[in-house]
Structure 1
Amino acid sequence: MIYLDEAATTPLKREVLEAMWPYFGADFGNPSSHHEVGESASRGLEQARTDVAQALGARSSEITFTSGGTESVNAAVKGIALATPRGRHVIVSSIEHPAVLESAEFLGRLGFDITILEVDREGLVSPASLTAALRDDTTLVSIQYANNEVGTVQQIQTLSRLAADKGVPFHTDAVQAAGWLELDVTRLGVQAMSISGHKIGAPKGIGILYVRRGTRLEPLIHGGGQESGRRSGTENVAAAVGMATALRLASGPNDDVVAKRETFIDRVLGDVPGSMLTGDRDHRLPGSASFVFPGTNGETILLELEARGIVCSSGSACAAGSDDPSHVLTAMGIDAEVAQTAVRFTFGRATTDADLDAAAGELVKAVASVGGRGPVQG
């Protein structure tokens, strides 16, 4: 099997499991308990927080551990908006993850005014459109760092600066960016950022929410006052330790991955007639290549590929099973029927040239078998 669906989830890294293991055994205590067993767990939790903060260029007090990217996004979007230091206007983009879009929709039901920024054919938000949308009562801008379906990377530093000039907090969903792109929150200029563990080799069920000191946040989960009152509930110490370890291990050079991606994209576009790359060719995650194949069916291609030992996806794992075309692709101006032919390949540093060469070859056959025209003849 060749696994090319790392945007959905990544395998747990051995070093991460080894770092977590003591907190399933001797250091099993509740970190809120005031005895040695609990304090041992608390020390592990706070060291993990320190390590995460260091990776993000943040203060330890600005890091909250959550159950994953979805909770981190909800906590940021709803929490900052409900604190309403400026007003009741929120700006998001049209290609956000559903966690952002549905949080914005929820706020709309509470009386907030929601502006949804359109994107261009490559999936990029125009700085001019954000400038035009900002108002005196704008209380939050939330724009995804890198898109989970097409891999397009936004100009976060430029966009966050525009918001900062108006005094508006800026949140970015960095779930897909983590491990690949700059995460220093000061250089990015963001007031809040969300990250998920299982996208970078940590277990499922752990996430990070960064909120800059001084940014007001209404907690969504109330109870015992853990995480400095921002997120009540007994902390998952083992997973937090695993998250910190994974974040440390995830960084590394991208040039080799980019070269593999470009070779793969060229091979697919050259060998599969009618194939179209989706997303920006240059401003793209290193290990992300997504296509549409007009005249076929994306789900059928996926089944053909899996039968041939290639595991990938048609887009967001959160939308699996839905008959609706991707909201990301249609927002980019791609016809709904064509959007339903989408196939996404996402891979990591361990993916080899041979893996991608084999995947490209099997893709040519799979598309041909479901109605495509087959490989280009030399």
Structure 2
Amino acid sequence: MTRETVYLDHNAASPLRPEARAALLAGLELTGNPSSVHAHGRALRNLIETGRQQVARLAGAEPKQVVFTGSATEAITQAIVGGAKAFAAGAVAFSAGEHAAVGKAAEATGLPHWTIGLDADGRIDLDQLAAVLRRADDENVALLVAVHWVNNETGVVQPIERINALVGPTRHTLFVDAVQALGKLPLEFAASAPDMMAVSGHKIGAPAGIGALLVKAHADVVRLIPGGGQEQGRRGGTESAALIAAFGAAADATHYDNATMSAMTAALEAGLKHLAPGTVVFGEHASRIGNVTNFAVPGLGNATAMMALDLMGLSVSSGSACSSGKVGASHVLAAMGVPRDLANCALRVSFGWNSTPTDVDAFLAGFETLLSRQKRGGKAA
């Protein structure tokens, strides 16, 4: 008999939407190569272009601005490694709270890194960003600036309009990691300042293995995989029409209800503070996306807590899922000045398209059991 579980890790990956599953299976039934000119190829090409239109619509982009990639990490790497080369960048500037993919891509450029700090609530320090831009101008260095819109661990929404106002009018290149923002905030890419944005399918209910880099016309020169000219020469390799169709179907099905998500998160945080008055919510005083909370109960280590909750059928995380199963202190919380012993207690709960208020009740019931065991001095699991 399969144990019933409650999935509370949508920021890592959201369950496959029925619409995306149907589109994926239909695409897998087709034969051929989308670059072929015969009827089989044209059928696959039609799936790709329909998917491109659907993703563009959700992102507020023009279809021709959507470059499909194998993942958001690939899109990020194309933007940073390919962008640094295309725009002759002399340095890469990024915040201390970026996804690990940004730091790794910056390393791969071989260029100097200029880091922008976070404040105690996880917001990018705009004064430091302004200082970095002034330094670049003083030293005549072309910058590639990489910032995230929504932090994947804390849900903190960055002041993107002010970032756009600082970087947009300059000669420097701006790349935005919008992976956690797609479908939750109006990206309006076509009318916005960033030169490039990365988005991902599996955060909105598409399968893993499909992402996209959104590019303005002047960023068409950004390359990572030359290949055989696919994606208008911007990303080589035969496209997966089935995955793209599933991404498009998920994009069409995405109707984010921030009020409902925020209400569930507020109920969860209120319940936590009732059960454990010392609960700390990270980024609590900043603007946050409604579907996620990152919190800690001092003295309750996240490795122990996650194991215990998993045995109760509650799937949560300690932060980014891209650390190969590692559980420990977060670089995001460290950048916010959170003491290591408290950061080692951090847990992330994130909701998505199929979450309900009963999931909150189930989590709080499980967490109450966990705290009771801890108080009795017994094992947490």
State the TM-score bracket (shorter-chain normalisation).
over 0.9
Separation in structure 2 between the aligned mates of residue 282 and residue 115 of structure 1, nearest angstrom: 24
Residue 73 (1) aligns with residue 72 (2): no
**1:209 equivalenced with 2:213 (yes/no):** yes
Pairing 1:341–2:317 present: no
Counterpart Cα distance in 2 of 1:65 and 1:364:
44
Query: What is the one-letter code of the residue matched to 1:144?
Result: H
Task: After TM superposition, list the pairs within 5 Å mapping 1:161-310 onto structure 2.
Answer: 161-215=165-219, 217-310=221-314
8 Å contact kept, 2:278–2:298: yes
Aligned residues of 2:58 and 2:183 also touching (Cα < 8 A): no
Residue 113 of structure 2 aligns with an amino acid whose one-letter code is I
> AA paired with 2:98?
E
1:302 aligned counterpart, secondary structure: helix
- Measured in 2, the distance between the counterparts of 1:301 and 1:105 equals 34
Please state if 1:353 is matched with 2:352. no
Deviation at 1:268, TM superposition (A): 0.7
Name which of 317, 323, 329 aligns with 2:321: 317
SS at match of 1:362: helix
Give the match for residue 45 of structure 2: 42
* Distance in 2 separating the partners of 1:308 and 1:9: 20
Which of 141, 146, 149 is 2:145 aligned to? 141
Bigger mean CA deviation after superposition, 154-163 or 54-63: 54-63
Q: Distance in 1 between matches of 2:95 and 2:83?
A: 17
The residue type equivalent to 2:166 in the other structure is L
Amino-acid identity (%) = 34
Tell me the alpha carbon deviations over residues 85-106 of structure 1, each in whole angstroms, 9 at most, x when there is no partner: 4x41221000100100111122
Task: Give the length in aligned residue pairs.
Answer: 369
Q: Is the 8 A contact 1:269 1:277 kept in 2?
A: no
Kindly provide the amino acid, as one letter, of the partner of residue 354 in structure 1.
T
Q: Retained in 2: the 8 A contact 1:144–1:172?
A: yes
1:130, distance to aligned residue in structure 2 (A): 1.0
Cα distance in 2 between the residues matched to 1:369 and 1:46 = 55
Query: Any conservation in 2 of the 1:301–1:367 contact (CA below 8 Å)?
Result: no
SS in 2 for 1:143: strand
Q: Deviations over 1:32-53 (max 9, x none)?
A: 1121111111121112112222
Q: What CA distance in whole angstroms lies between the structure 1 residues aligned with 2:33 and 2:220?
A: 28
CA RMSD in angstroms, aligned pairs only = 1.9
**Equivalent residue for 1:93?**
95
Consecutive unaligned residues in structure 2, runs of 5 or more: none
Quick check: 2:59–2:183 contact (8 Å CA) kept in 1?
no
2:164 to 151, 154, 160: 160
Q: Where does the alignment leave 5 or more consecutive residues of structure 1 unmatched?
A: none
- The farther-off stretch of 73-82 and 47-56 is 47-56
Secondary structure class of the residue paired with 1:208 = strand
Tell me the SS of whatever aligns to 2:149: coil
Instruction: Report deviation, 1:188.
Output: 4.1
Cα distance in structure 1, aligned partners of 2:168 and 2:377: 51
Measured in 1, the distance between the counterparts of 2:25 and 2:312 equals 36
Aligned residue type for 2:246: G
Residues 182 and 362 of structure 1: is their aligned pair in 2 closer, same or farther, counting only changes over 3 Å?
same
Contact 2:302 2:327 in 1 (8 A): no
Distance 1:356 1:224, change over 3 A: same
TM-score normalised according to structure 2 size: 0.92
**Deviation readout 1:153-198 (Å, 9 max, x if unpaired):** 1011210221012132211111111121112114542211111111
TM-fit CA distance, 1:57: 2.4
Taking the aligned partners of 2:353 and 2:21, their CA distance within structure 1 comes to: 19
